[in-house]
Chains A and B, each alone.
Chain A
Amino acid sequence: MHTEAIDPPGIAWQRVSPKYITVRLVEWAVGNLVAVLLLSLPLLFVLLGVWRWPPLWLAVALPAAMLVLALWRLVLIPRQVRAIGYAERDDDLLVRTGIFFQRTMAVPYGRMQYVDIGVGPVERGLGLCTLKLHTAAPGTNAKIPGLPAAEGARLREQLAARGEARLAGL
């Protein structure tokens, strides 16, 4: 993937595991399919003749719109996962996400207060983990999902070591 306009030039991004796509797919399925099914209920009632109010076109349009939206999100997932990247620089960690709404974040090692590793049920099955960085600022929402477990552990140790070496006050 080519470097986007807002990324600092000359960065070799580390990409997250492609298996993370599966995790996102499961999340997508749980979230969106349930929403589509719920929105299809009026259609069902109308077809069965129980409800009279929503006209047929509205009852059809509602889940259809939701379905289109969900499919659009589905198509985006692989690209979104490929857009996630991180890079360890000398003094800070860069994390980038997003295709349409891009974000490139720099978290200085000296500012990290602690590093979390979280593993969800699907991630555990695939041997992945999510790394979360915390600084004193609540706005630092730096999350690197979909790391292979070994890489996550290595990164955590690395960040902790670098953080200790460059520790600064608040």
Chain B
Amino acid sequence: MTADRQVPGTGAPGSSPLPAGPAAADSAAPDDGWLRVHPASPFVRGWVALAAIGFFFGRDIFERMLQGRPVFTDELAGRAPWLLAGGAAMLLIAVLGFVLTWYFTKYQVSGGYVRVNTGFLFRQQRQARLDRVQAIDIVQPLLARIFGLAELKFEVADAGESAVRLAYLKMDDARQLRATILARAAGVSTGVEGPGEAAPEAPEYPVLSVPPSRLVGSLLLSEQSFFVAVGGVASVVLSAVTDNQSFYFYLIPAALGLAASYWTLFNKGYNFTAAISPDGIRLRYGLLDTQAQTLPPGRIQALKIAQPPLWRPFGWYRMQVNVAGYGLVENAGEGTSRTTLLPVGKLEDAMNMLALVLPDPGTAQPAAVFGAGLTGLDSDGGFVTTPRRARILAPLGWRRNGFAATDTALLIRSGRWWRELVVVPHQRTQSMALHQGPLARRFRVADLVLHTTAGPVAPRLTQAGVDEARALFNEQSARARLARKRQTTEQWLRQVAVPVVEPAETRPAPVVEPSSVVEPVETRAPHAPTQEGPQHG
């Protein structure tokens, strides 16, 4: 994606908020397929500012009412005009800022690109290649949901700052735009280039849903709860032993923080449903803020299925994925929910999701191999584990730590108590490294690390026998090379539809141009000025 900054040529920014030159160009622009976001969106986004103004000026009156004093006194009457004038001025400035932001935010879908223009003093134009779309989300915060609005957010894996956001659109428009973007990204030619003539939304088939009771159970039995229980017992014991009541006071903020964290997890994980459609995996979740994610096929870089010890009696698993662009989310809470493919599910749910992510398991007995990856020991399912000579390095885990390779993916399993299975499709391997420390050398073992995009999954095969590790290192290079050759296009439906034309069509468009060298700088530079924009208004 490239982003250019266009600073309006008018020298005096304070003179007029609407410089003549760009304004004239803008008034013509919407005719060329440029669309604006919903007029209410700045208010939905900036309601905090409005609330702050309201609070600041209404507090006095509110306090009087609360204390039962008369609302209108002589003292207030003297101040009232000033208060009203100040309030009105601030409100006016805020609203003017909102309107200008709205007026200058425009987007366009055409010719394989999405373009988004924002900012009125410092203009920013971003364009994203549709066939590089990694994932696309429809996010609805509570307030937007009340107004029937939604934010469309999509990840384009090219440069550092990768999310392109359109906030807010009407729910139906957002859905339609998503369908259009996905259809274009998939290489389906609708024949119509206008964004108005959107592609029909792909049908979807539900795969699984997580009942709230299981979600609550999983939260109560999570690792976090374990440490909470230990911490709680420890503090009670401490306060009893030292006869000091102040421990309870320290517990109050901790309890508040915990409640907030549990609430976030519950709010994000509530009503989790997964569905499959031709344009990818659809995930929906959220109690108050809802989010609908679409992960196009083959966009998942690595996958982890984990089972904490307390979940074992219930046979629950958690699945997390690395998707290019997701890992760069600065907001941790948002990041974890977006990279979760399955917050909690039974074995069959996990297997179903696995089948969606990896349609071709590359083995004749997928259930046996992946089952062994989840629960097996030693050489079940063709896994190669840590050699016996190195068992002292991992007294518990050595029978679990191991790998197996199918035709399409490498499976790395680990952990006797904290069971984990990491799956990396061969064609997604970026680079890899063998590591060996002095202790490992004594036992003739080595670690193999596969590098993947930023995210919760960090594939590392620990303590494999040195010969096995070296053989795997070579085989894996060869397998990744072959898989890369097989995978020729980013436009996944075209791959199926017109296999003959496809290499010729995709070749001329270099996927990662050498020009991406400079892109991170270009994309980052315009952000700071854009954020300053509204303040200048």
Q: Which residues from chain A sit less than 8 Å from chain B, CB to CB?
A: 5-9, 91-92, 100-108, 110-111, 113-114, 135-140, 142, 160, 164, 166-170
- Contact between B470 and A168, CB atoms less than 8 A apart: no
Partner of A106, one of B427, B431, B517: B431
In the bound complex, CA of A169 to CA of B427 (Å): 9
B514 touches A108 (CB 8 A): no
Contact of B477 among A7, A92, A102, A168 (CB under 8 A): A92
Chain B contacts for A108, CB-based, 8 A: 429-431, 477, 480-481, 484
Give Cα A108 to B478, complex, Å.
10
- List, in ascending order, chain B residues with CB within 8 A of A136's CB: 157, 324, 430, 453
Contacts of A166 in B (CB 8 A): 484
Q: Which chain B residues border A114 with CB–CB below 8 Å?
A: 514, 516-517
The answer to whether B435 and A102 have CB atoms under 8 Å apart is: yes
CB-CB under 8 A for A113 and B516, given A6-B436, A101-B435: yes
Query: With A6-B469, A167-B510 in contact, is A103–B487 under 8 Å at CB?
Result: no
Pick the interface stretch among B191-199, B200-208, B267-275, B444-452: B444-452
11 contacts between A and B (CB under 8 A): A5-B441, A92-B477, A102-B441, A103-B433, A104-B433, A108-B429, A136-B324, A139-B431, A160-B514, A168-B487, A170-B511
Q: Closest Cβ of chain B: how far from A101's Cβ, in Å?
A: 5
Residues of A within 8 A of B473 (CB): 8, 104, 106
A106 to B480, CA, bound (A): 11
A117 to chain B, nearest CB (A): 11
- Bound form: Cα–Cα A105–B430 in Å: 11
**Minimum C-beta distance from B134 to chain A (A):** 7
The reply on B461 being an interface residue by CB < 8 A is: no
Identify A5's interface contact among B466, B510, B512, CB under 8 A: B466
A3 to chain B minimum Cβ distance, whole angstroms, is: 11
Size of the B side of the interface (Cβ < 8 Å), in residues, is 44
The answer, yes or no, to whether B143 is at the interface (CB within 8 Å) is no
B21 at the interface (CB under 8 A from A): no
Instruction: Kindly list chain A residues whose C-beta atoms are within 8 Å of the C-beta of B454.
Output: 137-138
B490 on the A face (CB < 8 A)? yes
In the complex, chain B residues whose CB is within 8 Å of the CB of A140: 430-431, 451
Nearest-Cβ distance from residue B49 to partner chain A, whole angstroms: 36
- The answer on a CB contact under 8 Å between A170 and B484 is no
| Residue ID in chain B nearest A95 by CB atoms | B433
| Contact A102-B436, Cβ < 8 Å, known A91-B477, A92-B477, A113-B516 | yes
Q: Does B73 contact A (CB under 8 A)?
A: no
Chain B residues, Cβ within 8 Å of A100: 437-438
CA distance A105 to B436 in the complex (A): 12
Residue of A with least CB distance to B483: A168
Q: What's the least CB distance linking A132 to chain B, in Å?
A: 12
User: What is the minimal beta-carbon distance from A168 to any residue of chain B, in angstroms?
Assistant: 4
A residues in contact with B433, CB < 8 Å: 103-106
Residue contact B134 to A170, C-beta cutoff 8 Å: yes
Q: Say yes or no for B88: interface residue by CB 8 A criterion.
A: no
Chain A: minimal CB distance from B450 (Å): 8
In the complex, A43 Cα to B492 Cα: how many Å? Answer: 69
Excluding A5-B470, A169-B489, 6 further A-B contacts by CB distance (< 8 Å) are A6-B466, A101-B438, A103-B436, A106-B433, A114-B517, A167-B512
Check A111–B431 contact: CB distance below 8 A: yes
Give the shortest distance, in Å, between B299 (CB) and chain A (any CB).
8
Q: Does B408 contact A (CB under 8 A)?
A: no
Chain A residue contacts of B429, Cβ below 8 A: 108
A11 to B105, CA, bound (A): 56
A168 — which chain B residues lie within 8 A by C-beta?
427, 484, 487, 511
B11: min CB distance to chain A, Å: 37
List chain A residues, Cβ under 8 A from B452. 137, 139
Chain B proximity of A116: nearest CB distance (Å): 8
CB of B491 to closest CB in A, whole Å:
10
Cα A102 to Cα B448 in complex, Å, equals 12
CB of B301 closer than 8 Å to a CB of A:
yes
Binary contact track B408-438/A, C-beta < 8 Å → 1, others 0: 0000000000000000000111111111111
- Smallest Cβ distance from A11 to chain B, in angstroms? 11
Residue contact B431 to A142, C-beta cutoff 8 Å: yes
Q: Which residues of A contact B446 (CB under 8 A)?
A: 5-6
- CB pair B435–A106 under 8 Å, yes or no, is no
Interfacial residues of chain B within 369-394, with CB under 8 A of chain A in the complex: none
A138 vs B430: C-alpha distance when bound (angstroms): 10
